[in-house]
Amino acid sequence: MNWLKQLFSRSRFYNDLSDEMQQHLEEKIEELVATGMSKKEATAAARREFGNITLIEEDSRTIWRWPSIESFFADLRYALRTLRKSAGFTITAIVTLALGIGANTAIFMLLDAIRLRSLPVQDPQELAEVRITDSGHQGMGNNQQYGELTRPLWQEIRDQQQSFSGVFAWSVNLRYLGRGSEMRHFHELRVSGDFFRVLGVLPFRGRLLMPEDEGACPMTRAVVSYPYWQSDLGGRDLSPAIKLVVDNELVEIVGVTPPGFFGMVVGQGFDIAVPFCEPKEGLRRDTFEVSVMGRLKPGGTMQRASTEMDALSAGAFEATIPPGRDTRWTETYKHFRLAAYPASTGVSSLRDYDRSLFLLLGIAGLVLLIACTNLANLMLARASARRREMAVRLALGASRSRLLRQLLTESLLLAATGAAMGIALAQSLSRLLVWSFSTEGASVTLQTVTDWRVLLFAVGVAALTCVVFGVVPALRATRAEPISAMKTGGRGTTAGRERFSLQRLLVVTQVSVSLVLLVGALLFVRSFRNLMTFDPGMRESGITEAFLGFWQSNLPRERWADFQRELLDEVRSVPGVLNAATTTNAPLLGSSWEHGIRIGSQEGNSKFTWVSPDYFETMGIPVIQGRSLTPEDTASSPRVALVNETFVRRYLSGANPIGQTLRTSPEPDYPATVYEIVGVIPDTKYNDLRSQTPPMTFAPASQFPGQGPWTVVMIHSNLNPAAVAAAAKRLIAEKHPDVLTQFSDFQREIRDGLVEERLMATLSGFFGLLAALLAVVGLYGVISYIVAMRRNEIGIRMALGASRRDVVAIIVRQTLVLLALGVGLGVVLALAAVRSASSLLFGLQPNDPLAFAAATALLVTIALVASFLPARRASRVDPMVALRYE
């Protein structure tokens, strides 16, 4: 470590050097004295010949240094000193940067957690998911969330595949834990036996599930996640005595998964993992419930795995054809193809928010840009204040690059501090973002962490900001002509136009970018408002949705329909309940139920809902033609149905629908049935506010062929939903302690579905206002600066008879020019930018004139107010005072 030694012995070296040179000089003098010169003459001559001793010493020393690094440290010390001296500027700059970088980093952290980060398992990049190409199965059979294949298909793949060193299947479900009215939800992860082994997940306690745990239902062993073990089992040691009632069966907890493991779904952890089991009645072939994944063999590629999956598709689908379907359905099914897709990042429904998040990242980036522009303006102002300092240093021989380096060190210091604080801030901001995605029904459990990607992002952003606010002012500052700078000292009557033009350009940019953001914000706010006030064609407020489950009551199947009616009657007897009805599918909350139908010679699909007679009245849906359902429509009476207007338009082309018949395609449990249309209802939204209304059919609950031991009751009441829920829950718990009851406020649930829109409206609104504020502050600063620079000119004008009003007009006119340019440019930019957001909007066009007009008006108003202040100050200039400076 030679250089290290040099570093420490350097001061001795330097002393040696000066001693040595001193000796040299003396020797020289002696010599000269020996030739007959006087001591004084000799000293002078020797010194003359020797030259600048300090300089030589310094030159000799630099040999031992790393000039770039050492001068960097000197710059750093100098920058620290300068920044400490102007604390106000420094704090403004750092806070601005910290907020800007923090907001950007927080959004990026969320994107990173949702999309970029790999699963916390062994070699996640080797994981592949096997799916049907183009998601062709969507809408066929029963589809579960994240369910891509059926269990029989999974077995085919497991037995046939060669490309993977191991394969596994999994599904996630919301199931019930405990008994009767004490039951509560838990997140179940259902896995094939090899799941944990293929993923390379090791137990934290006990053991994890293994292939021998698979078998006939019911399952008796399960493992729990670490968070669940901590929160619900209190972190107790496992023992065979700890048993949980999972889905009405006693299971033993045999192990705990490691703390970081959350399953395969990013953003939704699991509580209990249970092995696949085989029910007595066999596996369903029409329920797409599992996701199948595999680990590529060493050296294997996704491409090769895909090819292999494609090759075994025909056989696999042929072998697993669901029974009881019509030929069209079966043909479609047989022609599905399988392919392998990368699965290193798991799956997540949060990825639907991608576009919003990228948009927010863009918005936050633009806000940061505006903030940086303000900083650049401040730096420019500082630069002109330091013109003399720079001029003196240039005159003394400093090179321009050396000065540039020093000024940039200052910006770098600001940016680095801002970035460090921004990263710290982003930790809590990102948690706040995650929290804002959670709703009462579905909590998002997402760990945002500061990994290398996040750090790289923050550093990149900081570097970029540094360039934006540091480089141009630095170039500007070091371009000073020493002579003119020192001569005038910045006291001309009007300052150079050229120097303002950059600041003007910056302000115009700010105004235009903030206009874009304001327009965007107004669009999102208006879109959200449209959704909130949108009439879906049915009653939303005052409705309570109740889920009643009676699978623990041990009733025979024949009693289910009757028991459901009894429960409904009990609910209706609760004081304050105006009306109540059962339904097989609650509207507007995302779930969908469809059957294939045939009307005459036409084939098609319709949504199907089986409801009790008072459903339409409860939900405030009028029957516009024919009759509603009545208690006389019983299990034994002719099959009848109501349809909506879209159904009539699509399948009956305007003919009188009453008395027409429709026939459903056969499905297991749902034999082909002919329904007579007895009534028509107007179009209402189906499962989502945004989608077009599909054809819909409503049939009597009493004729529902697929009755299960559960029902959904929609309750209309004039009391508050919580009170109704409490009363009904108490009543049912008293009479039927085995019945599970869950109540929710229908309107609140619908609004929870608008979480993305709410987030976009709030955040874009916040960023839009912030951008406008920053731009106005920038404008104010520049106008103030211009006023200060034009003091002399204004003084002269006033001395020559200009009135205060004239002076205000001059300044305001200048503002107006800047504003007009900014707004004009902003409108053009906004028109181009909002197109990318059009699919996120509801009930308005992206070029919504109201949003554009309101944004412009808002911006212009506050900008004029902001510029009026410096203008008034200018008009108060006392000509005598202003001119005395000359």
Partner 1 sequence: MRKSEQRDLFPGALEMMILRTLKRQPLHGYALVQHIKRTSNDLLQIEEGSLYPALQRLLKEELVKAEWGISATNRRVRIYKLTVAGTRHLEREVSSFERMLEGITRVLARGES
Residues near partner 1 (CB under 8 A) are 6, 16-17, 19-21, 23-24, 26-28, 30, 49-52, 55-57, 59-64, 67, 397, 399, 402
**30: nearest Cα among 52, 10, 46, 54:** 46
* Contact present, 567 and 732 (Cβ < 8 Å): yes
Select 125 or 399, whichever has its Cβ closest to partner 1: 399
CB of 387 to partner 1, least distance (A): 23
CB-based contact 425:109 (threshold 8 Å): no
In the bound state with partner 1, the residue whose beta carbon lies nearer, of 23 and 501, is 23
Shortest approach of partner 1 to residue 50 CB, angstroms? 5
Cβ at position 52, least distance to partner 1 in Å: 8
Alpha-carbon span 244 to 186, nearest angstrom: 12
Smallest distance, partner 1 to C-beta of residue 13, A:
9
Ramachandran quadrant class, 832 (left: phi over 0; alpha: psi -120 to 50; beta: rest)? alpha
Position of tokens 């804002």? 436
Question: Smallest distance from the beta carbon of 46 to partner 1, in angstroms?
Answer: 10
In the bound state with partner 1, the residue whose beta carbon lies nearer, of 16 and 278, is 16
C-beta closer to partner 1: residue 9 or 138: 9
Helix (H) or strand (E) holding 221: strand 221-224
Which residue, 19 or 134, has its beta carbon nearer to partner 1?
A: 19
Question: Rounded to whole angstroms, how far apart are CA atoms 110 and 130?
Answer: 27
Element (H, E) at 741: strand 740-745
Structure tokens at 728: 């009904």
Q: Least distance to partner 1 from the beta carbon of 471, Å?
A: 22
Angle between helices 354-385 and 755-789 in degrees, nearest 10: 10
Q: In the complex, what is the shortest distance from the CB of residue 74 to partner 1, in angstroms, rounded to a whole number?
A: 14
Name which of 43 and 439 has its Cβ closer to partner 1.
43
User: Smaller CB distance to partner 1: residue 17 or 505?
Assistant: 17
The answer, yes or no, to whether the previous bond of 218 is cis (omega within 30 of 0) is yes
Contact call for residues 514 and 779 (beta carbons, < 8 A): no
Question: Strand, helix or coil at 188?
Answer: strand
Q: Where are the beta strands (DSSP E) in 88-199?
A: 127-132, 142-143, 164-177, 184-191
Nearer to partner 1, 64 or 868 (CB): 64
Q: For residues 19 and 734, which CB has a smaller minimum distance to partner 1 in the complex?
A: 19
At closest approach, how far in Å is the CB of 11 from partner 1?
Answer: 15
Kindly report the length of the chain: 886
Q: Which is nearer to partner 1, 63 or 241 (by Cβ)?
A: 63
Using H for helix, E for strand and C for coil, what is the string for 575-625?
A: CCEEEEEEECCCCCCCCCCEEEEEECCEEEEEEEEEECCCHHHHCCCCCCE
Give me the helices (H) in 35-143, please: 39-50, 53-62, 67-85, 87-111
Q: How far is the CB of 73 from partner 1 (least distance, A)?
A: 17
Minimum CB separation from partner 1 for residue 29, in Å? 11
Count the Cβ atoms, other than its own, within 10 Å of residue 549: 18
- Our CB check for partner 1 shows the closer of 17 and 463 to be 17
In order of 438, 533, 773, 839, 848, the CA distances from 527 in angstroms are 21, 10, 23, 11, 11
Give the shortest CB-51-to-partner 1 separation in angstroms.
5
257: three-class secondary structure by DSSP: coil
Shortest separation between residue 825's beta carbon and partner 1, angstroms: 44
Q: Please give the C-alpha separations between residue 302 and each of 152, 299, 315, 344, 348, in angstroms, as whole numbers.
A: 23, 10, 21, 12, 21
**Cβ closest to partner 1, residue 22 vs residue 125:** 22
